[in-house]
Structure 1
Amino acid sequence: MQNPKSKYNVCVLGATGMVGQEMIKVLEQRNFPVDRFLPLASERTAGQKVTFRGKEYTVEVATPDSFEGIQIGLFSAGAKVSAALAPEAVKKGCVVIDNTSHFRMDPEVPLVVPEVNGHALKNHRGIIANPNCSTAQMVLVLKPIYDAVGIERIVVSTYQSTSGWGKEAVKEMYEQTRTLLADPEAKVEVKFLPKRIAFNVVPQIDQFLDNGYTKEEMKMVNETKKILEDDSIKITATAVRVPVAIGHSESVNIQTKKKITAQQVRELISKFPTVKVMDDPGQGIYPTPIDCVGKDETLVGRIREDISISNGIEMWIVSDNLRRGAALNAVLIAERMIADSLL
């Protein structure tokens, strides 16, 4: 950071949610230069208590006036809340780093993974968008490959944890599991996810669109192109919810413009910031969601050449969706902005 002595007034909007809680944790663990800390939420959860650096705070209701004197706002309270309050925060002089989908494809708003396209931050007008968690972990691995040999096409299938929906979905998964363990024939309540998640996988994340894809799948398509600044890449995605609490996994097939070997891919991505290669299947070494929980790194394994096409590479990517895919990325954006004198 440019000036370690500088401190900033920081708010977390959505402080009671899973991502908001992780944002608070990351701010504390990374010793972010916070002067005043303000936890905010909707009326539904305001009044709850959160702890930051050993001090207990009461979560306040977010209103347009909440952002007076706040310099950095980390938003993760839903797209409607961000749509309403982010412009109000900017009017008060607050730079908003928004974790919702609302601003991601706005051409006036940078969509940033700092290690990949941190240069885009210089064009901000008060709001910076955090990408979808599944997109964030994938582009970290794609970037060094893209720079080295170019990318023609990407086919990705995701295996996304229930925490991607929220804490209610995680609770629902556990409750369904307990019920079915006691009685495999029991009927379970389905409230937050489209279908039963316990002992099941659900090939629907968000709503279906007219083209047959879900919103989640099209987020991955469109956001990847925007972050890599290349609309020519052909991308198709299938997003699936799985009965895992934390950690998104992805099977990614990449067709490159020039030939690259699996070993060259390992060497490239192992040098890229916050990416860790775990790839020795013969010794049982490859990442699973359990391995990524609480980790800053995105984990990559099962790297191999696709035997069905020329210039094809297959891999398996795993990352903590709450941390690397959301909270950490937001804090890294703020750190980069401080370092580049953009605040």
Structure 2
Amino acid sequence: MGYNVVVAGATGNVGREMLNILAERGFPVDKIAALASRKSLGTEVSFGDKTLTTEDLDTFDFTGWDIALFAIGSDATKKYAPKAAATGCVVIDNSSLYRYDPKVPLVVPEVNPEAVLGYKAKNIIANPNCSTAQMVVALKPLHDRARIKRVVVSTYQSVSGSGKEAIDELWDQTKGMYVPGQEVAPSVYPKQIAFNVIPHIDVFLEDGTTKEEWKMVAETKKIVDPAIKVTATCVRVPVFVGHSESINIEFEDHLDEAEARDILREAPGIMVIDKREAGGYITPVECVGDYATFISRIRQDSTIDNGLNLWCVSDNLRKGAALNAVQIAETLGARVLKKG
């Protein structure tokens, strides 16, 4: 016996990936419903070898459904998640709405799977920010060994993190650079993204950080350890899919780079590709469509007593969003619901 599963926001990039990954991983499904807003009503989406026709999120009755994967943004989630949760359906939400709610667990299954047990307070589980998700997968096994004091991270985030319109903007601007008179002005982003980088993701806060940077700090503390100090600089780059991160870690105890490499090789969800030669590392183009978080460029930081540097790459539509949500559903099923 399997689960009755809802995917809300099924026509978006993340919603479509959720459906793909549910099918790819053989998640035990008895019934599945693909929901969308009325403007996308009737759109067909794929689920394995099946074609689903989207239903109206606004009028959908969640009664009798076990799990709902939400990829509809914070405003819509605020309206529909409590409605679904009230029927007994467990909501796994990809928006930022519930991530910082102390009554809602924020879960990365490779890091804190036991946190799913806290879902009962609101019948909701939060999925972390895409940039946080891949970083904490790398941090946790190292933290268990040597205790992390401080993390300095710079991100190189793809445009798919901003949705389909951002992908289109990068594509159109790139084409327009080669055709006189076809230049495309910025719309999604405040500045040109083609052949450029933008050190600004989400809104600016009073202290000069952006909301994206704040998310990485707050979520790492909630998922891994509140004692870890984190400082982040988040940058949008002209890459379609795949987030990259340069991570500098300061530990309480000494951790040799060779041991760190061995620890990461054995850690769940991680693939180490680290050869000290041209091409002996992973770039975002190579991670697309993969489940793994890739780690490269592992090396000692000689400027501090107990420091390491590493390069971290992952498909943000997968591990950063859809895959992590499905893994939460798998963990919930194995630890709590126990069907299938």
The alignment's TM-score, normalised by the length of structure 2, stands at 0.96
Structure 2 distance, partners of 1:186, 1:53, is 39
Give the SS at the match of 2:193. coil
Q: Structure 1 residue 43: deviation in Å?
A: 2.0
Structure 1 unaligned regions, length at least 5: 1-5
Q: Are 2:136 and 1:139 aligned?
A: yes
Cα offsets for 1:46-91 (capped at 9, x unmatched): 2211122322222112126431221110001101111111110011
Q: Matched residue of 1:115: which SS? A: coil
Distance in 1, Cα, partners of 2:336 & 2:63 = 21
Contact 1:122 1:342 in 2 (8 A): no
User: Runs in 1 of length 4+ with deviation above 4 angstroms?
Assistant: none
**Aligned residues between the structures:** 336
Aligned to 2:46: 51
Structure 2 gaps of 5+ residues are none
**1:165 corresponds to:** 162
1:186-335 matched pairs, under 5 angstroms: 187-228=183-224, 230-335=225-330
Q: Is the 8 A contact 1:64 1:89 kept in 2?
A: no
Aligned counterpart, 2:332:
337
**Residues 66-145 of structure 1 aligned to structure 2 (within 5 Å):** 66-125=61-120, 126-145=123-142
Q: Cα deviations across residues 303-336 of structure 1 (Å, max 9, x unaligned)? A: 1111211111000000000011111111111111
- Bigger Cα displacement from structure 2, 208-217 vs 188-197: 188-197
SS at 2:42 equivalent? coil
Distance 1:52 1:14 in 2: 14
- Most deviating of 312-321 and 280-289: 280-289
Q: Distance in 2 between matches of 1:123 and 1:246?
A: 32
Q: Which of 146, 150, 155 is matched with 2:147 structurally? A: 150
| 1:281 shift after superposition | 2.3
Alpha-carbon distance between aligned partners in 1 of 2:226 and 2:47, rounded to the nearest angstrom: 41
Question: In 2, Cα distance between the equivalents of 1:147 and 1:64?
Answer: 46
CA RMSD after TM alignment: 1.3
Over residues 122-170 of structure 1, what are the superposed CA-to-partner deviations in whole Å (9 max), with x where a residue is unaligned?
1112100000011000000000110000011000000000000001100
Q: Aligned equivalents of 1:109 and 1:291: distance in 2?
A: 34
> One-letter code of the match for 2:31?
R
Offset of residue 290 of structure 1: 1.1
Instruction: Pick which of 35-44 and 7-16 moved more.
Output: 35-44
What letter corresponds to residue 248 of structure 1 in structure 2? H
Q: Is the 8 A contact 1:64 1:88 kept in 2?
A: no
Query: Secondary structure at 2:138's aligned position in 1?
Result: helix
